[in-house]
Each structure stands twice: as C-alpha cells, then as structure tokens.
Structure 1
Amino acid sequence: MDKLKPSFANLLENQKFSDCHILVGNESFNCHKLILSSASEFYERMFLSDFQESKTAEFRLNDVSPDTLRVFLDYVYTYNFEKLKTNPNEMILNLFECGSKWLVESITADCEAVLKERAPQMSIGNLVETFQVAHNAEHKAIIKTVTFHLRRLAGGMKCYDSLFLTSDAFEEYIRICDDKIPEEDRFKMIEAYVTINGLIDVETADSGVNGTILDEFKILKDDDKPGSSKEISVVENKAAVSLPDKNCIESSAGDNKDIKLKKLHLTYVKTLLNYIHFEQMGKTTFYNVVGKSRLLTYEEKFEKMFLTK
C-alpha cells in the first residue's frame, strides 16, 4: 500500500478517471467513487442511492468546509498518518467528526491517536473543545483521556470555554470538576451557563429561574455561539387541536410549548444544582454567592443554608 500512495495521490491531484463531483460551498472536488466508497459506508450509500445526485454524479455536502474535505480526501487517497499528524488541533477535530459521521474508522482511529498524544500539552481551551467533540461522537476513550487532563489542570477548569458546551457535556463537565474547584465557583459556573444560554426566565424573581453572569468571565449572551444547549431547547408541540378558532389553537399551542420549555429548563437547572455540595460552603460564602442568586427559591436557600459549615 505504501508504494501505491504516490499513485493514489496523483489520481486526486490530476483528477484522472474521476467519476463524481463533491460540492462544498463554492468549490467542487473531482473524486473517484470506488476510492470513497471503499473508505466510507456513508459515501457508498450516497453513490448507490436513487436520488437525482447519483444520476448526475454531483453530490453536495453542507456539514463540512472545503479545507476539511480537502484534507479528508488526501487522507483517504493515501492513508498517510505522518502527514495527518502535521495538521493543527482544530483540523484534527474536524476530521474526527467527519470520520464519525461518515463511518470512516481509519481516520477516526488515527485522529484519536493524535488527540491522545497531544492531550498532555493542550491548553484548557483545546481540552474543552475536544471534550465537546468527543461527547458529540459519544467517544468514551477520548472523553476519559481529556477528563484526566482537565482534572490535572484543576483550577483552570473554571473557564470561559466551558460556558458554551452543550447541555449534556456541561453537566458532565460540572460533575468531573467535583473536588477540583471550590463549590461556590462551581455554583457560579452553573449560574453563568444557564444565564448565557437562555435557560432562565429573567422576569421571574423567586422561582429559581434567574441569575447573574459572572463578572470574572466578562461575557455577554451571544446566541450565535456554539453549544447553546439546543438539546434542551427543542420541545415537541403536543397541544390540543380541538379548539374552535385557529388563532386560539396557535395561541394555546404556543403557551403550551412555552410552559413545557420552562419546565424542561428548570429540571435541567435543578439537575446541575444537585452536583453542588452546599455543606462544603461556609455561611458567609453561601450568603454572598447562593444567597444573592435567583437559581434557588427562598425556601430552598433556607434549607441549604443549614447544611453549611
């Protein structure tokens, strides 16, 4: 296979005998069905489908950038691991995601090897990003490796990047930083996260649905940021359809959806707060942090206060 690498690379470069076009953005890549389908079950299914694309030999991909596809193609045509390792972390993560989505075990395994090798030298931001990508792919081995190095950095886990994790990843992040970050700081992280990601109702004062963004983070809510907890923002509309007026139906459906959404958000916030060990806080700290927060009701604060030192 090693002796054939230059030949396959030449096929890609010179586009000899290409029989399909992969369209990404404004760019077109001339490829070979046999090579792509041999590397990926995803491409095999796409080429064998009855869709119009399979007849025209033009296939558009919307979930990848031209640069990422270019590196991906270079890999599946040559399987050059040493060349793969020269890519920056961001590209390795992009390729790992492609391998996971497109069922290319070889590139997924090679990217895993690169990420594990680099993890000890990664910054906290890179570790958090890798943590998220591994969660997206439900890749336990990478999650385990990244978790070890996140915990090794201890206090650094209280960082800006963690606030844009998806809901399931952030919950796991809060769990794994147990005993590495003071409880009051974990509480502040939760408060900042639910505020930034719109999981609280700022109009409600004493029902555990308001909060304050951490001054330490110095950030504003930005709906365009990645990881905005879309998992807990999607609520299936099961409103009744027997109302006599269309406007009433739409109004009722909207209200019903809003109620379900708020309940879902509140349940998630309470789940996060269950990870906090209030008994490890001093009374003064509790008053200054939890006491001034609106994530808990007055009754809940009173109950938790008796647990403090």
Structure 2
Amino acid sequence: MSTSQGHRGHVTGLPEWDRCAVMGVVNVTPDSFSDGGRWFDTTAAVKHGLDLVARGADMVDVGGESTRPGATRVDEDEELKRVIPVVRGLASEGVAVSVDTMRASVAERSLAAGASLVNDVSGGLADPAMVPVVAAAGAPFVVMHWRGFLEGGNVKGVYEDVVAEVVAELHARVEAVIEGGIAPDRVVVDPGLGFSKEAGHDLRLLAHLKELRALGHPLLVAASRKRFLGHVLAGEQGAPPPARERDAATAAVSAIAAHQGAWAVRVHEVRATADAVRVARAVEGAQ
C-alpha cells in the first residue's frame, strides 16, 4: 500500500485508489437544491451517471430524496421507484454505485440491485432498521454527522466548539454502528457540512479535517455547491451566486480536502474536482 492509501485509509468492499476518490452525484429528484429535475427519469439519470464516470468520477452516489433545508420527505414507494432502476442501470455498466438514502428498505434493495456503498446522511438514526440491514449485507456505510431532519430549516446549529462536538458526536455514532454489526473497516465518516451548521462552522470543520481523520476511519467530504461556498463567494454584503455557479469553489475545497487526507469528495461537477485531486496527489508525491 502506498503512503497515500495508508494515510487516507481503505474501505473494505470498495476499490483502492492511490489518491482522494471522486464521488459524483446523481439526484433523481424534482427538488434538489442544485440540479433538481434535471435527471428526473431513469434513462437521463443513468446517462448522467455514466457521463460523470467519463469525466473522472470513481463512484456515483444516487439519491431519490432531497435533504436540503426545508425539503419535505418523499414516501418510501416513490423513493424506491426513483432510485432502484438507476442503481441497477449504473451497476450493470460496472460503475461503483453508492446509494444516498435514510431508509433501510431503499438501502437493502439498492444493495441487491448492485450498489456497493450506503451513504446515510442520518448515520443510521432516521431508520432503526438501517444498521441491521447494512450489517447483514456486509456493505460499507457512510456515517454522517446529523442532528435531525431539516424540514424546519437549520435545526440545532448551536456549537460552543464545532470541531470538538462534531468529532465527539461522530465518534459516538461510529461506536453505535460498529456495535450494531457493521465492520469497522467498512465505516466511512462525513462531517455533514451544511447540516445544522452555519458557514463559519463548515469552514472551521474544513480547516480541521485532521481531527476528524483522527477518528480512525476514511473521511468523505461533501461540500459541493453548498450554502457556505455561496457566502464565501458573495463576501460581506453581496448576494450568493446560484448553486451551479459554485463549482470552481467546490473544486478548491476538493483540493484542500485531498491535501488533508480525505478518502473521497462528493461533487456534482466532476471534471474540475477530478483534476484537483490529481494535482493534490502529484504535489504529495513530490514531497
């Protein structure tokens, strides 16, 4: 194993990459904050996923439920109808597929359809059946820092020390999922940028990824097009640019995250980030 792989960690059940991996996003939703409705049918969604791979994505994350602040939950049947055909279509083309869901039934059927990773923004808290399902399947699992649904806006976003609190809460959640039967070498952690966090919290977490990596699990960073980037780009008084105009800023975060040892970054626009992580790897290799 190279030094790079060693310090990023490896997730059992997934390929090994010699650099920070790139997870491309396919939102099969009519209301995603950044690209809602654009890939809202199976054929378009599968084609988009394959395009992301062609542009440099190592994995594709398929989701059928928007988790933006204020979004209302879709029902289970609708989520299954959106997600399963897309997972099956991409997996049948040899793509490494992650399913972005808080429902155990969607995770279980996605894994059966060929998904190789479950990315649950609630870290298994939203559905008590999630951890047993993932454990029984022997699948890798992303545990994100989560303080509850955002239907009422940005809930519980108060921190005395955001880094210490996120690390402590993630640690407790990781212990719980391991106790629930998920193998430690299949657990990925995610600081949950934008979830119950203000822009200052997100930036502070990005400045302290080392502390999150000290949890001892590969780290996924999902900053793509998020509000805190809009705030950074707008400056003190300006209006934040729309989500799709935050891709260069996203690629900058990808380079920073890769340099700090993130295992993977989750992004909507793949090409610039694919370049960014390769440059970060080249710089690492020159040290």
Question: TM-score normalized by structure 2?
Answer: 0.28
Larger relative contact order, structure 1 or 2 (CA cutoff 8 Å, min sep 6): 2
Q: Select the structure that is richer in strand.
A: 2
Highest Rg: 1 or 2?
1
Q: Select the structure that is richer in helix.
A: 1
